Structure 1
Amino acid sequence: MPNWLLPENIADVLPSEARKTEELRRLMLDNFRSYGYELVMPPLLEYVESLLTGAGQDTELRSFKLVDPMSGRMLGLRADMTTQVARIDAHLLNRDSVTRLCYAGSVLHTRPSGLHATREPLQIGAEIYGHAGLEADAEVQELALASLALAGFGADQVRLDLSHVGVLRALLAGDGAAQKDEAALYTLLRAKDTPGLDAISVSYAPATRAALLALPGLYGDIDVLARAREVLPALPGITRALAELAALAGSALGRADVAIDLADLRGYQYESGAMFALYVPGLPNAVARGGRYDHVGEAFGRARPATGFSLDLRELARLLPTAERKHSIRAPWGNAPELREKIAQLRKAGEVVIQSLPGHDNEQDEFECDRVLVLENSNWILKNLG
């Protein structure tokens, strides 16, 4: 095998795409800051006991593990940064007030998360800690939609899918037989496997069974919530979940095409309330996911209400058109003080100045030299090319 081949679903990022990705990262982080979010940088690896605590089985299966030659203990390479940020909030910052944190960095997955997905996403996200009210969920949802708007996706190009783990948990709370099958029910509902649900729920209470069989069909526009109130039991947990979904759907109207799917429970083991996924043209997978996860902090000894979202910048950048090549200036190589001073002035003014090394032509993907710096009558002046 040639030594330059990379593992499956791992790829180099070439100049044009790298520039798009970096510009998106800067735009989004600056926008997070305008909302009051503080940037943190968790480590790429840490002890598995800390990294995977409270993260759920899905994250554990996606995480690379290795032995630390210094301590002999097992380390994990992060597959997600949310639990790391929750640890920072719980132990390093240890604030009593509302805390807004954001982050951006590479994560590694043992397997790709979707069709054509990379195993090395560049994850960016934002989290709010310390507020249990729906206002925090609405702000995070707004911030996620604003991030896609910064990438150039209009309201008519974005679909927001809403779901809520509270519906299933309320159904299971009063049925011991159903509680024993919680993991299997989660899998069947995600697959909308109605025959499987029918078979597994034979021994459940009639009301629980009927509600579980109805969940796969409860998807569509916001009118689904009215149907859900008719066919699902009027349990306090379900009533509250449907009311929260109605409020979040209302806050997104005009900014995205809103859909409800009460069986879409991706992240069920991890989330604790309302969840959302964002879709854009050109990607079969959700481009961003978010939701409430109030219980993650318990693993670090300090439970705090929490909600947030994240997306993969590399996946998003691939959808964007290649940027036009930036007009730039070609200059000769030399150490003459007048030449160096002129180049410094141009760069300070925002120009890209590329000095031609002796014996070589310039060849770039991102720059187009449309002007040249030449010496005339002892002065360095710009001349147009072509």
Structure 2
Amino acid sequence: MPISETWLLPDGVADVLPEQAQVIETLRRSALDFLASRGYQLVYTPFIEYIESLSSLSESNQDLDLATFKVIDQLTGRLLGVRADMTPQVARIDAHVHPVEGVARYCYAGTVLHTKPQGFNTTRAPLQLGAELFGSDSIDADVEMIDVMLSLIETANLVEGVHLDLGHVGLFRSLVKHADLNKTTERQLSDLYQRKALPELAEFTQKLKFGSDFYALGRYASDLAALQRNLSAEILQDEAFKQAFDALTTTQAEIQARWPKLHIGIDVVELRSYHYHTGLMYAVYAPNRAAPLAQGGRYDGIGEHFGRARPATGFSCDLYALSAGQFQAIKTVIAPKGTNTTLLAAIAQVRNNGLSVIQLLGEDDLTSVPNATHQLVNVAGEWKVKQI
């Protein structure tokens, strides 16, 4: 592409043309309607805020902090952040703006902005849609959220062939605490787990306290039964480890009961956003797609930054990614000029039937509307829609 054409938009930012925009907007509306039917209340959040308001997550998640564009407010001289994720904003609403008692459910949809693409072949300006549940630390809340996420994917007609990945940061976290590891060793282990580097992990864990348990966690990360057989009795009796293990097995069983045909995978060392999540983590993947269709997890205490720490779980997805490759042919009907009563009534009826109708202007003819697919013609005194 010539340089004269590429300078118009920065890398990772693109226009959405009518055929795909129609698909995305239809999906957005149906998704929000579905979430409303499940009791999730819609909120709108500002595109830009003081950086302090967006730092409730960035303090524990450097990835989010690095993804946030920062600018100086010309009115106050204070530092502003362009939202890179809407979860901190919804947490602020729950904790400070709309502090309801009991369980609160919110949903949202809007554009966020990233300093760099967050994955292979992704946009820097995703259209993020998600749901958050505050005020319950029950496994039932996580099961509900996963069920809502899967049902939302179903509204996009993408359930066929998808699989769910489940993990729980509490297993690794409790083992680290039990072994009293320092932060450096913890980070090194996390990196080995993320890279699935079993030979390196075997060598690294030889000198660690409970090293065989750390190795077993990586070696049997996707097989809970084998993992349980290969862990030491001391670790299996650790209360925090037991709670995390039971939460994972219970969630897997309950989701499988609700979605019997769904393939559920386990990965106890999938530690993305490890310092952000506090419990269960989940993601939905589709065949031939590297990035998840939707992902989320538990992040208890998120509202502490705003003076009200609450249990929380939620998920989000990028509607652009969710609708990737889908296009919708747009039917456009051209109507002739005129104010004849029967003509105007026919135009109104066609519009009521869900089609777009453009009435010609001035000396226009059919060639003036190049995207027209049909025309309204008078056949023996009756107006009918005919394909062009």
Instruction: State TM-score, norm by structure 1.
Output: 0.90
In structure 1, C-alpha distance between the alignment counterparts of 2:162 and 2:90, rounded to whole Å? 27
- Gaps of at least 5 residues in structure 1 are none
Q: Is the 8 A contact 1:330 1:373 kept in 2?
A: no
Q: Which residue in 2 is equivalent to 1:6?
A: 9
Q: Is the 8 A contact 1:339 1:380 kept in 2?
A: no
In structure 2, C-alpha distance between the alignment counterparts of 1:319 and 1:327, rounded to whole Å? 19
Secondary structure of the 1:340 match is helix
Q: Which residue in 1 is equivalent to 2:292?
A: 286
Q: Which residue in 2 is equivalent to 1:300?
A: 306
CA-CA distance at 1:313 after TM superposition: 0.5
In structure 2, C-alpha distance between the alignment counterparts of 1:255 and 1:18, rounded to whole Å? 32
RMSD in angstroms over aligned alpha carbons? Answer: 2.2
CA-CA distance at 1:188 after TM superposition: 2.5
Q: Does 1:258 align with 2:269?
A: no
Distance 1:249 1:177, change over 3 A: closer
Q: Which amino acid aligns with 2:214?
A: L
Q: Which amino acid aligns with 1:247?
A: T
Q: Does 1:59 align with 2:64?
A: yes
Deviates more, 1:195-204 or 1:18-27: 195-204
Q: Which residue in 2 is equivalent to 1:348?
A: 352
Q: Which amino acid aligns with 1:127?
A: E
Q: Does 1:114 align with 2:116?
A: no
Which of residues 330, 349, 368 in structure 2 aligns to 1:361? Answer: 368
Q: Which residue in 2 is equivalent to 1:160?
A: 164
Deviates more, 1:101-110 or 1:349-358: 349-358
Q: Which residue in 1 is equivalent to 2:154?
A: 149
Which digits, 9 at most, give the CA deviation of each residue in 1:199-220, with x for residues without a partner? 6556531x1x222222222243
- Gaps of at least 5 residues in structure 2 are none
Q: Is the 8 A contact 2:66 2:115 kept in 1?
A: yes
In structure 2, C-alpha distance between the alignment counterparts of 1:299 and 1:185, rounded to whole Å? 29
Secondary structure of the 2:129 match is strand
Deviates more, 1:267-276 or 1:342-351: 342-351
Q: Percent identity?
A: 39
Q: Is the 8 A contact 2:221 2:227 kept in 1?
A: no
Which of residues 209, 212, 221 in structure 2 aligns to 1:210? Answer: 212
Q: Is the 8 A contact 1:39 1:103 kept in 2?
A: yes
Q: Is the 8 A contact 1:102 1:127 kept in 2?
A: yes
Secondary structure of the 2:317 match is strand
Secondary structure of the 1:282 match is coil
Q: Which amino acid aligns with 1:282?
A: N
In structure 2, C-alpha distance between the alignment counterparts of 1:244 and 1:45, rounded to whole Å? 37
In structure 2, C-alpha distance between the alignment counterparts of 1:217 and 1:180, rounded to whole Å? 21
Q: Is the 8 A contact 1:178 1:201 kept in 2?
A: no
Which of residues 246, 249, 264 in structure 2 aligns to 1:246? Answer: 249
Distance 1:238 1:14, change over 3 A: same
In structure 1, C-alpha distance between the alignment counterparts of 2:86 and 2:386, rounded to whole Å? 49
Q: Which residue in 1 is equivalent to 2:230?
A: 231
Which of residues 18, 22, 40 in structure 2 aligns to 1:19? Answer: 22
Secondary structure of the 1:152 match is coil
CA-CA distance at 1:352 after TM superposition: 2.6
Q: Is the 8 A contact 1:178 1:204 kept in 2?
A: no
Q: Is the 8 A contact 1:291 1:307 kept in 2?
A: yes
Q: Which amino acid aligns with 1:101?
A: Y
Distance 1:142 1:200, change over 3 A: same
In structure 1, C-alpha distance between the alignment counterparts of 2:66 and 2:244, rounded to whole Å? 29
Secondary structure of the 1:278 match is strand
Q: Is the 8 A contact 2:169 2:274 kept in 1?
A: yes
Q: Does 1:84 align with 2:89?
A: yes
CA-CA distance at 1:230 after TM superposition: 1.7
In structure 2, C-alpha distance between the alignment counterparts of 1:184 and 1:200, rounded to whole Å? 9
CA-CA distance at 1:317 after TM superposition: 0.5
In structure 2, C-alpha distance between the alignment counterparts of 1:198 and 1:217, rounded to whole Å? 9
Q: Is the 8 A contact 1:331 1:374 kept in 2?
A: no
Distance 1:103 1:255, change over 3 A: farther
Which digits, 9 at most, give the CA deviation of each residue in 1:103-158, with x for residues without a partner? 0011111111111111111110001110110000000000111111111123x411
Instruction: State TM-score, norm by structure 2.
Output: 0.89
**What stretches of structure 1 move > 4 A for 4+ residues in a row?**
198-203, 335-338
Q: Which amino acid aligns with 1:297?
A: G
Q: Which amino acid aligns with 1:227?
A: A
